[in-house]
A and B are shown apart, each in its own frame.
Chain A
Amino acid sequence: MIELLAWPLVAALVLTGMHAWLGLHVLARGVVFVDLALAQVAALGIMVALLYGFPVQSDAAYWHALAFAIAGAVLFAAARAAEASINQEAVIGIVYAVSAALGVLALDRAPQGAEHIKQLLIGSLLTVTPGEVVELALLYGFIGLAHWLVRRPLVEVSFHPLLAGARRRSIFFWDVVFYGSFALVVTSSVRIAGVLLVFSYLIVPAAIAGLFSPSLATRLALAWALGAAVTVAGFLASWGWDLPTGPAIVAVFGMATALAVIARASLRTLAMWGCGIAALAGLLLVAAPQVEQPWLPEAMFLSGDELEMRAETLQSVDAASTELARLRELEQDVRWGRETMTDEKQERLRQYLAGRSEILAGERLVLKALSEAARERQRYIVGLPLLALASAALGLLFSARARSGRR
């Protein structure tokens, strides 16, 4: 398992290094979706290569992708110059939608590439090869070095455009440098990690770091540390709970953002959100008791007979699940040839498994019916007081805030 995760982990850390830095720029420029647009433009380039008969994984396809992405980068740089007449974010959105649509039109003529393009945008971090990681690290190292050498104009143009203007820097030129190198990074990273993960690496560490420090250097250090921590946590989650790795990392990024926002929020804001959520839960219970509410203890609202039935069913569900898991493992072993079994016995096992699963599903239905009965009883006893109390508390908090605001 470790050997399986080692290179993907290194790849993810390399991604963190480059994207945290670019993310700070992207946030300062207010062009959050630029990477999605550039990835889509690069995919369009590959589709055009397909139309000309080059296979998806050929060098020609890669150069097409890169050329298209750089053309997109120049377009975005030009869009900033024309910002007075058309919003840059709108241009990015339009480029995204149009290149996705043109891609569909191209695929209509060359359908053999459709799944590959989809895969390209989804990426597969887990199947990255050592060679790819080394290439990625070299490329990012080179771009990082170049950015370091010209950091002054780059930072000025991204973070202090007025100052850059006053110093008579060519904003268009430095924008082309920024978006061009960005295009180079995105074309390579999306291939490996997919758009979702690349977007998260770009935006989340930079956004969270922005919550804690105004200094660029501190933010960069924070973003790197955070990106690395989330990456490791995501890999651990994927490993421990048996989850697909990419989506697991994105989910941890989401959680990290929520935690950071909570950590920065005042006690009063947190109390207001808590009351709001409690009031909503109460309202939901009153209005629609059939909706699942996993936080509610149901045992208190069941009769003695029902409790007995619930305990028995839980026990039998537990036993059946264990037995099914064991038999399925046995069935797998037979399939893989670790165990031998006559055809007739195999068929009997299959039939038994099917029947047992149906019974298990029936038992789960009993549990569901019991919790529905409990929620029906909780509807007014719990739901109404919860709604009333939480709403009252929320009202008090709001009026307290209004009063302190006036003072």
Chain B
Amino acid sequence: MRFAFLLALAVWAAPGQASLLEVVTTSADLRSLVAAVGGDRVKVESLALPEHDPHAIELKPAQLAALRRAALVVRVGLDHEPWLARLKTDGMVLDASRGVHLLQTQTPRLRVERKAHSHAFGNTHYWLDPRNAWPITASIVEALSRLAPAERAVFEMNRARFLQRLEPKIAEWTQRLAPLRGAKAVVIHDSWAYFAERFGLAIVAAAESTPGVPPSPAELSKLFARMREAGVKLVIADPHSNPALVRQIAEKTGARPVTLLPSGLDYIALFDENATRLSR
């Protein structure tokens, strides 16, 4: 009898005792996904704003404190955040790339020879395929449930609700981008592989094959010639692409330059915006 009473007390007291799980993510997109899964059970903060260069973040003291305090750190993984290696956290670290089918995973040596994107373990921009929200949110549910086992059902439900919202959106984006299916595009920086794979764009080349190294005259002239020959009508730039280079490619080849956002505060709004920019 006394045991049953204690049990009842525990069950009654549990929601009140459960303080918010503090989560820190390295990118705004992951923050959006953690917030979708964690709902009102988590307090989540991103170390980088969407406008920040995720490869080079300079942390502020309050962020460092949040990182120390966090029960869970969610990161993009691979070698997307080299600065994170030197930071200590007592919490659990979730590499969100686990469970994601990665692209461009040839060995680093091959990559160097081909001058592909400089990441060593595969292209890291996997969140730009909205289908990858499934494995990413699944990992987040697992991690959060390990920290708060009693809340697993809530997390599962939140995730299902979010994915239910996402599913028709993907159909909508696919439909809006259907005219571009199979269209050849040149990117400035090799960060759109996943996005292109999902929505059927054919990326034929990256203008700046090594980030930070301007293309040589021969590379540029070959690019222009091939773009004209193949009738490439689309150049995809990032917000931080060299505007002079984008302008030059557009002028010399007649291709339409579109700046897509690689990161956003709201995961679904990010794709809405990119779909709008592309289909404009």
The residues of A with any CB-CB pair to B shorter than 8 Å are 1, 4-5, 57, 104, 108, 111-112, 114-116, 119, 122, 124, 126-129, 238-239, 242-246, 328, 335-338, 353-354, 357-358, 361
Contacts and interface: CB of A to CB of B under 8 A. Distances in A.
B108 to A, nearest CB: 11
B221 A4 contact: yes
B214 A124 contact: yes
A116 B243 contact: yes
Interface stretch (B18-26, B50-58, B163-171): B50-58
B204 A336 contact: yes
B206 to A, nearest CB: 11
A34 to B, nearest CB: 26
A122 B243 CA distance: 13
Nearest to A112: B51
A114 B217 contact: no
A116 B240 contact: yes
Contacts of B218: 1, 239, 242
A244 B60 contact: no
Contacts of A128: 244
A338 to B, nearest CB: 7
A242 B223 CA distance: 13
Contacts of A242: 216-219
Given A4-B220, A111-B52, A246-B214, A357 B230 contact: no
B244 A127 contact: yes
B17 interface: no
Contact of B217 (A239, A328, A338, A353): A239
Given A112-B51, A119-B242, A338 B230 contact: yes
Contacts of B244: 119, 124, 127-128
Contacts of B106: 354
A114 B219 contact: no
Nearest to A357: B110
B214 A126 contact: yes
B184 A4 contact: no
Contacts of B184: 336-337
B98 interface: no
Contact of A126 (B49, B220, B239): B220
Contacts of B214: 122, 124, 126, 244-246
Nearest to A127: B244
B217 A108 contact: no
Contacts of B110: 353-354, 357-358
Nearest to B109: A361
Given A104-B58, A335-B204, A115 B239 contact: yes
A57 B106 CA distance: 39
B229 A336 contact: yes
Contacts of A328: 114
A335 B182 CA distance: 11
6 contacts: A5-B217, A115-B53, A122-B214, A126-B215, A244-B213, A246-B214
Interface in B49-74: 49, 51-53, 58, 60
A337 B109 contact: no
Chain A interface, DSSP helix/strand/loop, else mixed: helix
A377 B226 CA distance: 51
A114 B240 contact: yes
Nearest to B219: A242
B51 A111 contact: yes
A66 to B, nearest CB: 20
Nearest to A132: B244
Nearest to A124: B244
A358 B107 contact: yes
Nearest to A242: B218
B239 A127 contact: no
Contacts of B60: 108
A116 B214 CA distance: 14
Contacts of B216: 238, 242-245
Given A57-B243, A114-B240, A357-B113, 6 more contacts: A5-B217, A115-B241, A116-B240, A122-B212, A124-B244, A244-B213
A171 B219 CA distance: 50
Interface string B231-266: 000000001111111011000000000000000000
B229 A338 contact: yes
Nearest to A57: B243
Nearest to A336: B230
A244 B219 CA distance: 9
Nearest to A353: B110
Q: Which of B60, B213, B218 has the most CB of A within 10 A?
A: B218
A346 to B, nearest CB: 12
Contacts of A124: 214, 242, 244-245
B205 interface: yes
A242 B239 CA distance: 27
Contacts of B205: 335-336
B245 A127 contact: yes
Interface string B189-207: 0000000000000101100
A112 B218 CA distance: 31
A246 B114 CA distance: 23
Contacts of A243: 216
Which of B184, B242, B248 is the most central at the interface, judged by chain A CB atoms within 10 Å of its CB? B242
A132 to B, nearest CB: 9
Nearest to B238: A115
Contacts of B240: 114-116
B243 to A, nearest CB: 7
